[in-house]
Each structure stands twice: as structure tokens, then as C-alpha cells.
Structure 1
Amino acid sequence: MANIKKRKKAQLPFRLNILFFAVFLLFSLLVLQLGVVQILNGEAFQAEIDRTSNDFTEIPVPRGKMYDRNGNLIVGNDAEYAITYTPEKGTQAEDRLDVAEKLAKYISMDPGKDKQYGLTLRNRKEYWYIQNTKEAKSRLTDKEIEEMDNSEQYSTMLERIKEEEVAFDNFSQQQREVMAIKKEMDKAMALTPQIIIKGKEVTPEEFARVAEHLDELPGINASTDWNRKYPYGSTFQSFAGNITSEKQGILAAKEDYYMTRGYSRNDRVGRSGLEEQYESVLRSRKEKIQYTTDKNGTIVDSDVAVEGQRGKDLVLTIDMELQKEVNKVLRQELKTAIQNQPYENHYMDTALAVMMDPQTGEILAAGGQYYNREEKEFQNAGQRTIHSAYSPGSAVKGATMLAGYESGVIKPGQRFYDTPIKIKGTPEKSSWKNLQWVNDYEALKRSSNVYMFYIAMRMGGDFNYQRNEPLNFDPKAFTEMRRYYSQFGLGVSTGIDFPSESIGYQGSDPLAGNLLDLAIGQYDTYTTMQMAQYVSTIANDGYRIRPHFLKAIRNPVPHSEELGPVYKSNNTEFMNRIDMDQKYINRVQEGFRQVFQEPGGTAYTHFDDKPYAMYDIAGKTGTAEADVYDDGKKVRDAENLALIGYAPHDDPEVAFALIVPKAGTGNKHPINHEIGKGILDAYFNLKDKKDEE
């Protein structure tokens, strides 16, 4: 018995030794593992603990400005208060709601149903979901939770929130404001500033309160934004164009175009006019901010990586003082004509004019006035000088005469007897009165339609017109006539630096009578800008020059209102020289001079008194039939009144074209001549004033 006890005592220390040894081995392995972690992988694990990442975001900077030829600001930028939100990575809806609730204490946003920040049904459902998450989840079955991913679950839960539960009136005013704020915050992408409220929507007091409490509003910043300003009001704004808002961002139709050029979706871009035409120049270089974030997405540091720079500035060819006067004249004469003959001018509502330097193509003024009869007010319609085309009547006869010379169907000094033309099966055609024998000079001076009819008939192949007999006519004459016209810019693009230029309408029925109408400007249609280029080409001895608004591009000067150094000048560009002998051009120039300066000229009685005779004007009048339709039915006749010209005749420095569509017949107020005198007065008076200075 004693021996058994001794053997048990002997076995006990042995077992303890094995146990201690096993524990020792385990601790050794643990120490070894710790050593491996500390020595071999320590730096890697520490790097993971300390891991940060660098991200970049871009802050918009104001666009370039626009100035007139004299350095007067046309389009600038106004700074305005802005409250922005820049979310960190991984920010959840609950986080944004918390910030929105805090921000609502310091600013007000109108959440009205029909207002800018109107709350949609989905906005209200999303808000209700965050406030009642548990209840929303209870509306899903276990099977749906198992089979749906998170996105599908969320969409289903929103669908099952009843409309009556989120009726607009169910929420307090404060809750509505919170929802309106959160709605704007939800548009923000990680580390990208999103404007919550700006401009007149935020008061200086609200801006100051937010600035004082930024430490409790993560992601919120009180900064400044910019908006376009127009020192001259609407005077030139239709040409300057518009830009999208930060809410519209880049145009959806051009998204691929802009995205491949480094734009963001919420960038403001030019959507019309010169803003669109010169987007690549006016576009600013954004300020690039580098954010350092830790592994949780929290911003730990930020720094300016690239300083922003305002876009380049445009110096335009426009003289804003002249532009104002042109608009004033158009508005005044349109008003007078309508008031003096309210019945006859019932359909008259528009007057358009372009003034340009015929030797350089620089557009000095381009104006349009439209009278809104319902609102009983005038509106600027300058773009119609480029976008709207009309039959200009006899104003095109200079091009017709030159086509006749060059094609060989008439000779300088050739005479025709001006009496009504009658082609078998067609109505009689005539001049405004029977002018009897006229040569080429007289045909232009006295505006003979019949002379132009003979040119057209001969270009069509018939040199032996017989009254009331059919013509020997080749329809290819339409192509030949239009080819000559196109050399002046009629019926083709002028090449102007402006989007969506109209080239007018070409008639499609190749009948002989229509060719005769084409020759007197009563078949095809042309824009006022095309007419200005046409008369400039004649004034410039047959050289067609590209009309343009841009004079130069200037680099911006930081923190200064001054114009910077020239980046690029826009020089005169010759498009073509008309394929006609100079001696022929000289004859048309002389005919144009006689229109204004000799008795019998169709403009003489309007321009024979001083100071107009001193201007030494040359040009052409025009009247074209303009049928007016109401519900598809012709209700009465009207006329398009035109006037083109240049001055001085010997050394042209200004050319002009104007069109007044749908004027009443038999006008007692010769609106086209009155506008012509008014805009020439404005030009030469301003010139004299500048010379005196």
C-alpha cells in the first residue's frame, strides 16, 4: 500500500513538468509570433494604422469678361454669398440629415411646393424613412430581405411608404426647411463642393451666423460664388448670350463633349450667343484642392495644389455707345410707325439693323427691337439679325446687275424699255411705275424691276422676249444666279463667329417667273447680317470679308479690373474676291451713289438735306411683298422694307443693312429711311465726339 502511494507521488511531478513544458512552448510560440509581427511586419502594420490617402477636388473660378472696343465692360462677374457643402468619403444619409438640422437653425430655405426648392414626393419619403427606419424595415418580409440586395430593399421600403403618410402638410415648417437643405446636400459628391444656397437667397446676417458656427457644421463652408452681371442691362445681352446655372451644369446634349475636355457635370457653360461661341476662351482654370483623408475617410488636411485663374477676356468689335443709339432709333421709329398707322401696320412688330466696318468686317453695332403687342412693351431681338431671314426686295439688285455683266447677258450702259412684262400663263410683272427707257445706272437709281427681269430672262436663255409668249427657259439659270449671289454672302454662311447662323430659304420651284422674282429679291430670303456682308463687299471693291464680333483675346489680370496683355488678335479675314471685273463693280458703286445723292434716286428725297449729303452715302432701297397669314389663310398684304448702304462713298468706313418685316403697304412713315438716317447720325456724331476728345 505504501509503495502504491510512493508511485503516485512520483508520477505527479512528472505530469506537472510536462504541463509546464507545454505552457512554455506555447508562450515561446507566442513570443516568436509577436517578434515576427513586430520585427518583420511592424512597419507594414503601422503604415496601415497611419494610412491616409490624397484626393483632389476642383473649385470653380469666375469666367472671363467681355469688353467693347473702347474698353467698356459689357459682361462681368458679381461676387455673392454662398453656403456650400463638401461631404467626406463615406458620409451617410443620417449624417447629412444631422448637418441639415443644425444648418436649418441659421438659414431659411423656402420649401414651398412650387418654389425653387420644392420638395418632391421622393424627398419627403426619404426624410420619413430616416426618421422611421425601424417601421420602414418592418414592411419587408423575411423572404424579401433574404432575396433582395440593399438597394432593392431600400427602393421597396420607399414604395411602401404611403403618400398620406408623407403629405406636405404633415410636416412642420422647420422639418420642411430641413428637407429642402438636405435635398441640396444630397446632390454633393465626396470631396466636391455643392452650393446649398447663394445670392439673394442668403442674407448677410445668415451668412455671418453660419460662418460663426462652422465648427459644429461638418462639411459646411461660408464662401463666395459669382454670377454674370451686365452693366448695360439688356442692350447687348441677347448677343452676349447666357450660361447654365450650377444646378443645370453642363448641357446634357453635349455631356460627352464637355466631359472629355475636363469638365464636371455641375460646371456652368455657355448655352447661347458669344458665351457659347467662345466657351473654350471664357472658361476658367479651376482651383485644385488636395485633401488628405485617413482610412475612415475623415479629412485631416487640405492644401491648394493649383491656383485658380479667371478665364480669358474678350474684347469685342462692338461700340456700346453706338449700340445703345441703334437700339434707341429702332425702338423709336418702330413705335412711331405703329402709332401713326395702327391699322396699316397691324402686323409690324420688328426692326433690325447691322452696322459694320466694310474694310475689316468688324461689327460696330447689331440691333433688333421687337414690339410685344400683348405685353405692350419693346424687347431686344438682336439675334434675329443672324437667325431670321426675309425677302429684302430691290436691295439685291446690285448683285443682279453684276451677275448680268459677268455672265455677258448685258453690257455697261445697255438700255431696256421699262414697261410691264407679261409671260404667257403668268400674272403681269412691272416696276413700281413705268420708267420707260433706262440704262444700268438709272435701273439702280430708280429701282427698275423690268431691267432686272431682262437680265434674268437672258440668263435663262431667252434674248427675244415677246409679250404674252412663253419663255425659252433653262432652269439651270437658278443655279447660275445663286452662284453669283453666293460670292457676296447671299444664301450662304457669312462665316460670322456666332452659333446657329441662318443662311435663309431658297425657293424650290424652278419656274421662269420665280427666276424673275429672284432677280428682284422676292423669292429667296436673307438675313440682315447677310445683307450687311453683301453691301460691304460692294463697298470694298469686291472683297468679301468675314464679319466678326471678336476683336482680341486678353489674358486676365489677377485682382484687377484692368485689361491684361493681348493673348490673340482677331485679324481681318478675306473670304473671297467676287469673280467680276472691277469696272463692273465701279458701275454698281456709281449706281448706288446716285440712289442717295441724285434727283430721282429712290432714297434721294429722304437723304438730300444736311447733314446726310455730307456723309456721301451710297446704297440701295428695297421693298418686297410679305404676305401675312392667320391660321394658314392669307389675310392681307404687307411689305418688307429694307435699306442698305455705306459711307463715305469714296473711302467707306461704315456699312449698314436694315430690314423692317411686315410693314403696312403705303406707309406714311418711311420707317426704313428714318432708321437709316438715325443710325448714320448716331455713328458720325459719336465719331465727331471722339475726334474732339
Structure 2
Amino acid sequence: MIRRRQKTKTQKSPLRFRLNLLFFIAFLLLAILVAQLGYLQIVYGNKFESQIEQTDKTVVTGNVPRGMVYDAQGRTLVGNSSENAITYTKSINVKSNEMLATAEKLTKYLTVPSTILQQQDIVDYFLADNNYYKKVVAKLPKSQKYDSEGNDLSASKVYKNVSQYVAKHRDLTLTTEQKEVATLYKKMSGAFQLSTVYLKDDGVTEDEIAQVGEHLSELPGVGVGTNWTRNYPSGSILTSILGTVTTEKQGLPADSLTSMLKTGYSRNDRVGNSYLEKEYESILRGTKSQTQVTVNNDNQVLSEVTQYAGSKGGNLNLTIDSKYQTAVENALKSQFAAAKEAGYTGYSDGAYAIAMDPKTGAIKAMAGIRNDPETNKVTDDALGNINRTFVMGSIVKPATVLGAFMDGVITPDDNTLPDDAIYLPASPIKKSWYPAGTFKTMTAQRALAISSNTYMMHLAMLESNAKYTPNKYIKMNDNIFEKLRDQYQRFGLGYKTGIDLPGEIDGYLGSTTNEYNAIKYGSALDESYGNYDAYTLIQVAQYASTVANGGYRMQPYIVDSIQKTTKSGEKGAVIYQHTPEILNRVDFTNAQLKVVKQGMYDAVNGNDPFMTASALRGMAQKVAAKTGTAQSFYYDQNNPDNTNPPATITHSFIGYAPANDPKVVVAVVMPNFTSDSKSTYSLALAKTMFQDYFKMEGTN
């Protein structure tokens, strides 16, 4: 029997199985992903949404008005003028074309002041148009867009190459309208992110304020505000001492840029640039306002909230009475003009005067003028009192006598010396202003009253144990210069006084040896009567005050106190009151000082026909004084090879009054008058300064 063979089952394809498996896995992963997304949406949806809408808060600072400067009577010397201003606050990552569009719209409502645009400013203006920028980039060779490996160059390098291309290939001439837009764009693009700059802060009209204010919604970042500038209600007095403030364009001084940035300044901040404004910058600047700016993820400013309105700068109250200062300045100019009219100032480079309270160091007036002998132009130079030195002449003689007293070479009861002229080999005779041989002997008191040079030289010879034979030989101890200068230094001569103004200099001390390294004995004799080393007038005023007050070297100062400024702009609480500072005590005795003071009193009020300051006799407040003349030469800087410079004389003066209880010291110097001039002008100036001071005090 024949059986049929059963058919076998067809086997499943391995490929189909694998495909099904892959589909299953893909479906499973998709299901997991959908489940995870759903989970995240349900559980964390609000959190992610808040992150998307997340904002950033930044604190932006703003400037406040500077403090004021007042004189001793409360009169405003330096104030602030508030003016309308159009401002611009730069948003984060704002685009160039957006700023350009804003600038173009703003010129419709604002007259833009003309300014000088540099070539790069004009190029930047053209490139602010994105379409134009792209066209220029397309024209650049590949080497200016990509590096050697084909990578894109940095945006800054590409921009530099584009700028150079435009400067070379495009006409950079602008129309009037384009210049206005370019000017605004320059100020906008130059601002830091979230910082505010002034687009126009001078001469903004009410109509411009109204026009801009009405269209602020279409001018992103533009605002209407106020700006302040320094004003001087009392006029031009003390201008060189008060100093200046930089403009917003000048910003921080280059020499202190880094340090000021570290202390919270911005580059365009206006700061004190010289003298009082600079010295008291930390007080006058005030404390900046703080505004919290909220920015979203698109770098759009959502809100601005003032956290701290800022604090106006502190006010300075000076020791100087502006009316007295004006009187001193006028008297100084008047006497110098009179000397010029008489033909005595052809080589003079100015005149200077100081009035000082000897008991405190407070400066009551400080005036100066600078004269250009070439052009005869006269300018204000009150600062010459602290940064110019002069050989002062005989006004140093009281210090020479007191030094000799303290060294014990003379005493109050035994101070009579020969008044013989000094004759050195191959040198002109060294004598006093009166004829040699006029007096055989001289006392310290009379030597000061009639200004004997020979007496001071004999003191120096005693100080140095000199061995001297007329016309043949002189030998002094090698430390003679050191000894004399040590005496003068105790009074402050030759060294900074510490006045609260920047720029003060030391004196100028002449060389002590010649080209053969030998001590210059003749110059040491000149030193003894003030005809060698050079000092500033503020040093002289400090020295005279030390004599007047009984030996206390006081630190001069010009700022008496500092006050806060109230919200209404008035003077508030005193936060600093200057305390007079004694720098050192010169240890002469009352008996020694009495001799010197009597000699200075006699110079004005005595009966000796040779007394040198009788022009001040007869004043209601008795004056004690010492005059000085120093011989020098005029050296023309434009003719340095001149081997025969003309001889000149510097006239100087120190004095105090009342003589029995000094309240004011006056110091004057008029350098490089012609050799035939007299001390008439310096004495007349000093007399006027004393009279005006006591008239101001109500005691004249």
C-alpha cells in the first residue's frame, strides 16, 4: 500500500523576525519618551515655563551733583547749574542698526550740536547699516574673512578689515543731516551696556524736551533728564586754586584711570582734575545713585526701580574770605602795574602774596600773577605760591639770628659783632646795602632793623669757626651749609609745608661744592643773609608765622570744614572740622625771641634813619616786619647761550600785626625787577594787605 508523504511546515524568515523586533523596540522607546514628556509637562511644566520667562536684575549707578565750595563767610565760590538734558541708556546687546534707527528718528526732534567726527566715527556710522555691512563683507578677499585653516576670523578682526575697506574705497563726506545722526550714533555706541550718557546737555530748549518726551515710546533708550555744570558766582577769584572738573567727554584722567575704575568710577565720570577739586575729590563727588534694572531673556528692559537716590557731594568751607581775597588780588595787580608803568618789570616773571593766621595756619588770602617778559601778558597764578621758588634775600635774617642764639654763638645779652665788609680773593666785596665802614659794630637787634648783611656773615663765620684774612684767605668748617640749613629747616624753609593742595614743591638748595669739590665758602656767606637757596612763598609765610607765634610751626590749610548736603541742596551737618596742627616747636627761648621781634618792630617803628620798613609806620595796628632784596640775573630761555645776562633784584617782605599779639602774617615776593628798582611796591602791597585785613575784621 502506497502512503502519501505529509508536507512540511514552511519555516519563518529570520529577517522578518528581526524587523518585527526592531519595530517593537522602537515602539517601546517612543512610548517611554511620550510618557516622560507627559510626566515632565505635568510635574515640571510650570518650572520650565518660569525659566523661559526668567529675568535678570542688574544694579546701575548714576552720578549726583558735586559738593559746593564756600568762602569763610558762607559765600558760594563754586556751585552747580542744573540744565535740561537728553540722555541715552544703552540696553544689553542692542544692535548697531537699532541704535542707528533711534539716532535717525531723534534728529527729527533735536538740534544736534556740531562736533568733530574722526574718520573711524564716519566709517562706524556707515557700517551700522547691516545690509551695507554684509555687502562690504562679501567684497572682502577670503584672507580677510578666514584664517589659513579655513576657520572664520573673529568678528572684531573682520570688522577691522571691513572698516579699512570702507575708509579706502568710499567717499566719507557727510551731509549736515548725516553728521547729526553720526554724532548721536557715536555717543550711543560708545556707551557701556546699561550705562547712561548725555546726547545733548547744553542749550536744550523746552520745545526739544517736549518733542522728545512726546515720542519716547519710539525712541528706545532715550530719556529726558537733567545735567549739572560748575559755576562760579563770586567770579574769577581763586580760579587756579579751586581747580577744574573734567567733562563727560574727557572722563577719568589717564594717569589715574585704573585706580579710579577699581573704586567704582565709570570712564566718562566727571572728576576733579586739579587742585582743590582734585585734592577733595572723594568728598565732593558724593555717592552715586543705584537703580535696579530688570531685563528679560531677550535683553529687553522691563523695569527700572530706584533703590538709592544717591547722596550729593560734601561742601567745602574755606578759610579764605572772598572779599579780602579780591582786595589782595586787586592790590597785587595794581602795584605790579605801577611797577610796570615805571619800567621796572621788563624781566619780572610775576608777583605773589599770602596772608596767614600765625596761630592756626589758616590761609586768609593767596594771590599771584604770572608775567611773561617776552609778551608782557599777565595771568592768574595763585598756585605759584606753592610751586615756584625764589631766592628771597634778607627776610631769612631773623632765622639766622635765632639759629645763632640756639647754637650759643651769641646770647641776648652779648650779641655785638663787627660790621666789617668781607673781602675774599678774586671776588667782589661782600657788604651790606649801605657803604662799607658805615658802622664799626652791630647788635643783633639793630642788624635786623637796618638789614645788615655783614652782621649775618660774621654770624656764619662764628658758626663755622672761620679763619679769615681779608683778600687772602678764608676757611670754614665743612658743615657750614648743613648747619645753616638745619636752622632754616626748623622754620620750614626749603621743605614742603603740608598745605592741603596738590602740587606743592620743596625749595631749591644750591650746590655746596665747586667743580674742584671744594666747599663754596663765599656761597655759605651768601646763604647767611638769604642770597643763595630758593624757597616758595608758602614756606616763607609758614616761617614768618613761626616767629610771630612764638616758635610753633603750623601746617597751612585752606579747607576749614566739610559739611553734608541736605536733600534740598542746603548745607547740612558738619562732618569734618580742621584742627590746627603743630608740625614742630623751634626751641628758642623767650629772651632770644624778644631780641628778634624787637629788631623787626624797629624796622617799621624805630627812629634809626637806616630802618628798612618805615613805609608801614603809623598804622593803627602796629606792624613788625623784615624786608628783603636778593640779587639775581635774568636768563632768557630763548637765548640760553647769553653769557652776560642782565642783573635783577627780587624784593620780598614778611611781617605780622598787631606786633604785640599777631593775628595775621603777610608775605610778599616780587621777583626779577630791574636792578635800579626799589622796594616801594612790595611795601605798598604789604601795607594795603594789613589795612584791608583789619578793616575786614573791624579793628582798623
Name the TM-score, length of structure 2 as normaliser. Answer: 0.90
Match of 1:621 among 611, 618, 627: 627
Distance change (3 Å), C-alpha of 1:447 and 1:19: closer
**Identical-pair percentage:** 34
- Deviations 1:167-220 (Å, cap 9, x if unpaired)? 33xx211011111111111111111101222124x3343233222221211101
Match of 2:106 in 1: 103
SS at match of 2:47: helix
1:128 to 110, 126, 129: 126
Cα separation, partners in 2 of 1:487 and 1:573, compared to 1, 3 Å = same
Letter in 2 for 1:620: K
Q: CA deviation at 1:530?
A: 0.6
Describe the superposition over 1:527-586 as per-residue Cα deviations: whole angstroms up to 9, x where unpaired.
11111000100001011111101111111111133x212111101111110132221112
- Is 1:76 the counterpart of 2:79? The answer is yes
Aligned residue in 2 for 1:153: 158
Q: Aligned partners of 1:388 and 1:406: how far apart in 2? A: 30
The equivalent of 2:332 in structure 1 is: 330
Task: Give the C-alpha shift of residue 164 in structure 1.
Answer: 5.9
Residues 394 and 629 in structure 2, CA contact (< 8 A), matched pair in contact too: yes
**Alignment pair present for 1:64 and 2:104:** no
The residue correspondences of 1:464-543 to structure 2 (distance < 5 A) are: 464-510=467-513, 511-543=520-552
Deviation digits for residues 121-150 of structure 1 (CA, Å, limit 9, x no counterpart)? 111122222342233112223454343222
2-structure distance, mates of 1:361, 1:18: 102
Corresponding residue for residue 428 of structure 2: 427
Cα distance change of structure 1 residues 104 and 140 upon mapping to structure 2, 3 Å threshold: same
Q: Which amino acid aligns with 1:624?
A: A
Q: Which moved more, 1:653-662 or 1:426-435?
A: 426-435
Judge conservation of contact 2:451–2:612 (CA < 8 Å) in 1: no
Q: Secondary structure at the match of 2:399?
A: helix
CA distance in 2, matches of 1:89, 1:301: 14
Query: Is the partner of 1:629 in helix, strand or coil?
Result: coil
- Equivalent residue in structure 2 for 1:578, among 586, 595, 601: 586
Corresponding residue for residue 150 of structure 2: none
1:635 partner SS:
coil
**Residue of 664, 671, 683 corresponding to 1:673:** 683
Asked if 2 retains the 8 angstrom alpha-carbon contact of 1:78 and 1:227, the reply is yes
1:317, distance to aligned residue in structure 2 (A): 0.7
Offset of residue 27 of structure 1 = 7.7
* Aligned: 1:53 with 2:56: yes
**Correspondence for 2:563 among 551, 554, 568:** 554
Cα-to-partner distance string for 1:585-611 (whole Å, 9 max, x where unaligned): 121111111111112354443122x4x
- Which residue of structure 2 aligns with residue 8 of structure 1? none
What secondary structure is seen at the aligned counterpart in 2 of 1:195?
Answer: strand
- Structure-2 separation of matches of 1:627 and 1:373: 13
- Quick check: 1:340–1:669 contact (8 Å CA) kept in 2? no
Amino acid in structure 2 at the alignment position of 1:514: S
Residue type at the aligned position of 1:440: A
Within 2, Cα distance between the matches of 1:574 and 1:174? 64
Determine the structure 2 residue equivalent to 1:409: 409
Alignment-mate amino acid for residue 493 of structure 2: L
Between 1:222-231 and 1:532-541, the stretch displaced more is: 222-231
Over aligned residues, Cα RMSD in angstroms? 2.3
Contact 2:603–2:614 (CA under 8 A) maintained in structure 1: no
8 Å CA contact retained: 1:337, 1:669: no
SS at match of 2:145: helix
Shift of 1:286: 0.6
1:18 & 1:505 partners in 2: Cα distance?
102
Structure 1 CA distance for aligned equivalents of residues 427 and 373 of structure 2 = 38
Q: CA 1:638 to 1:374, structure 2 compared with 1: closer, same or farther past 3 Å?
A: closer
Deviation at 1:26, TM superposition (A): 8.1
Q: Secondary structure at the match of 1:74?
A: strand
What are the equivalent positions in structure 2 for 1:428-443 lying under 5 Å apart?
428-433=429-434, 434=436, 435-436=438-439, 437-443=441-447
Conservation of the 8 A alpha-carbon contact between 2:123 and 2:163? yes
Deviations 1:79-117 (A, max 9, x none): 122221111111111111111111111222344xxxxx2
What secondary structure sits across from 2:491 in the alignment?
coil
SS in 2 for 1:475: coil
Q: Deviations over 1:5-41 (max 9, x none)?
A: xxxxxxxxxxxx9999999968854641332221333
Residue 465 (structure 2) aligned to one of 455, 461, 468 = 461
- Do the aligned partners of residues 363 and 447 (structure 1) sit closer, same or farther apart at CA in structure 2, a change above 3 Å counting? same
Alignment partners' CA distance in 2, 1:349 and 1:100: 52
Residue 233 (structure 2) aligned to one of 221, 231, 252: 231
* CA distance in 1: counterparts of 2:494 and 2:628, whole angstroms: 17
Q: Which amino acid aligns with 1:570?
A: H
SS in 1 for 2:689: helix
CA distance in 2, matches of 1:567, 1:184: 38
154-163 vs 494-503, greater mean Cα deviation? 154-163
Structure 1: stretches of 5+ with no match in the other structure: 1-16, 112-116
Q: Matches of residues 152-551 of structure 1 in structure 2 within 5 Å?
A: 152-163=157-168, 165-168=170-173, 171-200=174-203, 202-341=204-343, 344-371=344-371, 378-412=378-412, 413-433=414-434, 434=436, 435-436=438-439, 437-462=441-466, 464-510=467-513, 511-551=520-560
Amino acid in structure 1 at the alignment position of 2:601: R
Number of equivalences:
660
- Report the Cα offset of residue 477 of structure 1: 1.4
Partners of 1:602 and 1:621 within 8 A in 2 = no
Residues 124 and 166 in structure 1, CA contact (< 8 A), matched pair in contact too:
no
Q: Determine the structure 2 residue equivalent to 1:637.
A: 647
Deviates more, 1:18-27 or 1:545-554: 18-27
Deviation at 1:490, TM superposition (A): 0.2
Whole-Å separation in 2 of the counterparts to 1:349 and 1:106? 53
2-side partners of 1:19 and 1:431: how far apart?
123
With the length of structure 1 as denominator, give the TM-score of the two structures. Answer: 0.91
User: Are residues 625 and 205 of structure 1, via their aligned partners in 2, closer, same or farther at CA, if it must alter by over 3 Å?
Assistant: farther
Tell me if 1:663 matches 2:673.
yes
Please, which runs of 5 or more residues in structure 2 have no aligned partner? Answer: 1-19, 148-152, 514-519
Confirm or deny: 8 A CA contact 2:88 2:221 kept in the other structure.
yes
Instruction: Work out the CA distance in 2 between the residues paired with 1:372 and 1:467.
Output: 43
Distance (whole Å) between structure 1 residues aligned to residue 111 and residue 245 of structure 2: 27
Separation in structure 1 between the aligned mates of residue 613 and residue 289 of structure 2, nearest angstrom: 61
2:554 alignment partner AA:
I
The one-character-per-residue Cα deviations of 1:593-640 (angstroms, maximum 9, x if unpaired) are: 1111112354443122x4x2x211001000001210121224311111
Q: Quote the offset at 1:651 in angstroms.
A: 0.6
For 1:38, the equivalent position in structure 2 comes to 41
Q: Which amino acid aligns with 2:164?
A: E
In the TM superposition, what is the alpha-carbon distance from 1:259 to its structure 2 partner? 2.3
